[in-house]
Amino acid sequence: MRTPSFITGLSVLTCAASFSKRRPSPLLNVKTPEHLDKFDDRHETPQTYTVPPPWKGPEHCHVEFCIFSNPESGEGMSLVTTSRSAFVVATAEMPLSTGLEAGAFYEADIPGKGSGLIANRTIRKGEIIMERPPALLIQAVPHADLEPEVRNEVYQVAVDRLPEPARARFLCQVGSTIYDKIERNSFRIFVDGDRKHSAHLGVFPEVSKFNHDCRPNVHYRLNGLKHTTVAVRDIPAGDELTISYIYGRAPHSTRQSQLREWGFACSCQQCTLNTTETGASDNRIRQIKALETEIERIISTRGAAAAELRPEMGGKLVELYRAERLDAYLAPAYTRAALIYAMFGEEERAREYAAEAVAALERETGPGAKDGESMRRLAREPRGHWAWGEGRLGRGTDAM
Ligand SMILES: C[S@@+](CC[C@H](N)C(=O)[O-])C[C@H]1O[C@@H](n2cnc3c(N)ncnc32)[C@H](O)[C@@H]1O
């Protein structure tokens, strides 16, 4: 295999990210354009769609996958994708990039993890740390299927099309080749709804500086192409900012094997607990799962099984999440607790948990969260909500 030429240039690059020098940039909010909805993309050819200027491409096509690039989109963007997906991205609305002020955090060496991000002041729960568009978007099929030699050539051109400093930031990510950097730093993005070829790997070089923690203090979400990171608890100055690369509510051994697939042995606080503490943590995870299953069954059957519901179940669930420091995943726990307290007519607690659910849903899913409106109504007017009094009714007159 040919050695990618960028490796020779890597040693002269300064890899410390200049988070303080960010200028506002347009951002994509990807939706399938309406007139494309009827199109059957099974027979797409590279010539089917034309990307508008200043987008360039298609070039370097292999089957229906080509390079498209735009130095003015975000901080510069390259795509290796079909012309249809390129058109969807290129014609999407572009919101501005935002985030914390310059100097709120900085990049530093973290023992055993390479580099990472450190808070430079207290970052409050709910503060948005970064919103970023991808620098590189690679359709999942060519990433998996192209011959390595062809793929490396295509990736090299795609990266070369990025303007400096986006190209430098891309090359400063961990990974020995461009392919390896994509493997170790990308997020899965669907750019075209549930259509064929919608799945892409998105690389956000600045977001790539977040290390993993099984109990992260930052949550990330993807809305269209916009990658948002938000603090899920107050983060004191000097603490590392971390996200979770995996599903956090898994027991220790499952997390370890998932992270080994990511190619590293996790050295986060949760993974380095002693045996007794690990056992206690796994036990809480089991309790969370059992309680969630039970609550879900009871709530979904409503009146029929409501006699089994106890008001303290909701509070207990939230308590377990908090004890486990699962602050990045609190929305479902607050939502269930709010519903249960409403079912038992406990107005104050229903309001309190519903308000927490609204805030957690916004952090975890973004403004338009699915259950957000229902929780907002519950916080405002518990007595008008469908759940109000359901628990007491199910228990018969004793519970009234
Ligand atoms: C997305 S990068 C994070 C930034 C990276 N540390 C750097 O120097 O650019 C992912 C890589 O960081 C390292 N890493 C992230 N979280 C870690 C953790 N909890 N324990 C050990 N290594 C970690 C691993 O080498 C992993 O492949």
Give the model confidence (pLDDT) of 215-269 as tens digits: 999 999 998 889 999 999 999 999 999 999 998 899 999 999 999 988 899 999 9
Per-residue pLDDT band at 11 (split at 50, 70, 90): very low
Contact 67, 58 (CB under 8 A): yes
pTM greater than the 0.80 cutoff: yes
Q: Which amino acid is at 197?
A: H
- Give pairs for 106-111: CB < 8 Å, separation 24+: 106/19, 107/16, 107/17, 107/19, 107/209, 110/211, 110/240
Q: Which amino acid is at 400?
A: M
Q: 119's torsion region: left (phi>0), alpha (psi -120 to 50) or beta?
A: beta
Dist. CA 269 → ligand 1 center (Å)? 14
* ipTM for this model: 1.00
| Nearby residues of 304 by Cβ (< 8 Å), 6 or more positions away | 394
The more confident residue out of 116 and 11 is 116
SS3 for the chain, per residue? CCCCCHHHHHCCCCCCCCHHHCCCCECCECCCCHHHCCCCHHHCCCCCCCCCCCCEEEEEEECCEEEEEECCCCCCEEEEECHHHHHHHHCCECCECCECCCCCEEEEEECCCEEEEEECCCECCCCEEEEECCCEEEEHHHHHHCCHHHHHHHHHHHHHCCCCCHHHHHHCCCCCCHHHHHHHHEEEEECCCCCCCCEEEEECCCHHHCEECCCCCEEEEEECCEEEEEECCCECCCCEEEECCCCCCCCHHHHHHHHHHCCCCCCCHHHHCCHHHHHHHHHHHHHHHHHHHHHHHHHHHHHHHHHHCCCHHHHHHHHHHHHCCCHHHCHHHHHHHHHHHHHCCCHHHHHHHHHHHHHHHHHHHCCCCCCHHHHHHHHHCHHHCCCCCHHHHHCCHHHC
Q: What integer pLDDT is reported at residue 397 of this predicted model?
A: 32
Dist. CA 361 → ligand 1 center (Å)? 27
- Pocket test of ligand 1: the residue of 212, 266, 267 to mutate, having most ligand atoms within 8 Å of its CB, is 212
Query: Whose alpha carbon is nearest atom 20 of ligand 1?
Result: 266
Inform me whether the pLDDT recorded for 9 exceeds 90. Answer: no
Inform me whether the pLDDT recorded for 7 exceeds 90. Answer: no
Ligand 1, residue 174: give the atom nearest the CA.
9
Ligand 1, residue 173: give the atom nearest the CA.
9
Ligand 1 binding pocket, CB closer than 6 Å: 112-116, 173-174, 184-185, 208-209, 211-213, 263-264, 266-268
| Residues 179-199, mean pLDDT to the nearest whole number | 92
Query: Whose alpha carbon is nearest atom 14 of ligand 1?
Result: 113
Dist. CA 205 → ligand 1 center (Å)? 13
Contact 343, 304 (CB under 8 A): no
Chain-centroid distance of CA 83 in Å reads: 26
Q: What integer pLDDT is reported at residue 304 of this predicted model?
A: 60
Inform me whether the pLDDT recorded for 14 exceeds 90. Answer: no
Ligand 1, residue 268: give the atom nearest the CA.
19
Query: Whose alpha carbon is nearest atom 23 of ligand 1?
Result: 113
**For the chain, how far is it from start to end, CA to CA, in angstroms?**
75
Inform me whether the pLDDT recorded for 193 exceeds 80. Answer: yes
- Pocket test of ligand 1: the residue of 14, 19, 105, 174 to mutate, having most ligand atoms within 8 Å of its CB, is 174
Dist. CA 114 → ligand 1 center (Å)? 6
| Nearby residues of 3 by Cβ (< 8 Å), 6 or more positions away | none
CATH superfamily of 6-243: SET domain (2.170.270.10)
CB neighbours of residue 299 within 10 Å: 18
Provide the percentage of residues in the chain whose pLDDT is more than 70: 84
- Pocket test of ligand 1: the residue of 207, 256, 264 to mutate, having most ligand atoms within 8 Å of its CB, is 264
CA distance 132 to 230: 12
CB neighbours of residue 151 within 10 Å: 21
Dist. CA 5 → ligand 1 center (Å)? 24
| Domain spans in the chain, listed from the N-terminal domain onward | 6-243, 276-399
Give the model confidence (pLDDT) of 330-367 as tens digits: 999 999 999 999 988 999 999 999 999 999 999 999 98
Backbone angles phi, psi at 377, to 5 degrees: -65, -40
Contact 154, 262 (CB under 8 A): no
